[in-house]
Structure 1
Amino acid sequence: MTILVTGGAGFIGANFVLDWLAHSDETVVNLDKLTYAGNLDNLSSLTGNTQHVFVQGDIGDSALVERLLEEHRPRAILNFAAESHVDRSIHGPQAFIDTNIVGTFRLLEAVRAYVKGLASDSLQAFRFLHVSTDEVYGSLAKDEAAFTERHAYEPNSPYSASKAASDHLVRAYHHTYGLPVLTTNCSNNYGPYHFPEKLIPLMIVNALAGEALPVYGDGQQIRDWLYVKDHCSAIRRVLEAGSVGEVYNVGGWNEKTNLEIVHTVCALLDELRPRADGQPYHAQISYVTDRPGHDRRYAIDARKLERELGWKPAETFETGIRKTVQWYLDNQDWVRNIQSGAYREWVEKNYAGRRA
């Protein structure tokens, strides 16, 4: 048996591939475009593993996807492929439209053609699982109830709008064409292999380099934080037992302000890798101009997933963030390898002129 994973060299996708192969003897065909955030170093431990078949390519390349489906005959497709950084979507939304909307459409079209040729028992077992985000729901006030699967879509950035569009396409292909789909909407992930443009890895990397720790606005934006390995276990469970056509929110039950996150990372680094001068890492915090349209709060209500499929996260934020900081301390070569000139140029572009 085989599954096809798209975007399986990125942060969440790579963690899923590693997790899947640690728990299953099924082959993974891994299709990834290897843009700036796709990194084969994430999968270096799989070198020589015949259960992992890597293919560099775009989900928008219909001919390639059709060939892979015909050649490998997967029983399931898990779509992680996406442009996912809000700040990048503000600077250049076109890539988000191309991958998240057009790419998802072309992938769905290829899958629609593929399932027409499946025998009835294979079609009955087939699943298309689309991995999405809580950002499609928009922003919550501090005292509002957390997002449920019935919450209206109110995306506020080019990124979240493009993901909302992809979610709607997946839903439409189920209701119009009968495609057996599942959708998950997750909260903020953190953990190993996280590209250091996002909050937690950026703070770790900058702190160790003696650079400023840029905090947007007042730092009181609230997010729910989900350890990436918990997210992987949730996706496995949804694929295994989720009801076709249903949406499942995946959260960690860890609402924290961005400033709390930064102080927690600093405190762990003070403990695990103290500064040579004895000063605390929080002295490097620098408040910068907020991003345009920055959503104030996200919060996931994951009770449906627990009630119907028996899933809940294994990690608390305290255990997960300690594992994450330790992973970055133990994997400095990985960090250095991805800090190319292009990465440094992006950081300079995004934070230049933001000093508050």
Structure 2
Amino acid sequence: MSGSAQHVTVLLDEAVDALAIKPDGRYVDATFGRGGHSRRILERLSAGGRLLAMDRDLAAVEAAAGIADPRFQIVHSPFSALSDVLAAQGWPAADGILLDLGISSPQIDEAARGFSFRFDAPLDMRMDQSRGQTAAEFLAEVSEQQLTQVIKDYGEERFARQIARALVAVRTAGGAVTTTGQLAKVVAGAVRKAEPGQDPATRTFQALRIFINQELDQLALVLPQCLTSLAPGGRLAVISFHSLEDRTVKHFIRDEQDRDALPSRFPVRAAELPQPRLRAIGRAIKPGADEVRRNPRSRSAVMRVAERTEVA
């Protein structure tokens, strides 16, 4: 989601520009975080515009209390419930939807959340601490085979098998991995050769966070809802920080844009083909050198933008 300890919002102007804000339009910031994008959207809305924000992190919802604006409302919810939230608000459609994926700086920098190996803290990793299994609870029961798959798939870690074996061995010996410091230590001992400039535990922490929060599943659920929730001409902007996320978004937009793509001489009339429901707007957008210099955490960000067509 963004920035440094002061929470520098990534691709702030680029994302809001991509939504092509209509002053009296209705917009959804489905990942409020600390509200950088939401505040900028509100600056561009007239008195008749509306902004609905969502976040599954209660700390983000509490931070939104600082926005005293009758055009703004926030709902404590994962973005995978987008359609239900819009229906509950009586919104037939939105003119723009923004998804800023991944983890926010406050979540990383607050030791008690358990997202970072920079602090020794309880191994939680839940974005929504009001529900679900913690990373420590998962490690207490997961099989070596499943853990290997999680670390390999979500962390793209080449030493996934060795790391999983080492973590399960701690449990077999009667111990438990319950803190970020313990996890980082076990992983460091299992990784034979770390990448230059990267902590050995980076990929494993990432993998566990993605799994615990079902981040890729949530994304797969929300993208079709974004499509059906957008008004014709409405914009979808998605900022990703991980190659698996970006690939999912890229393929979704491509598949919706190329629905009428069939081989030449295919025995179906063009009028009978399913018509594109999205069209990509420009190419993928990445932070410029100045933004990366000011905010190194932005370096992996990629934004893709699409527009809803007139097709029902």
Q: For the pair shown, which has the larger CA radius of gyration, 1 or 2?
A: 2
More helix, by proportion: 1
**TM-score relative to the length of structure 1:** 0.29
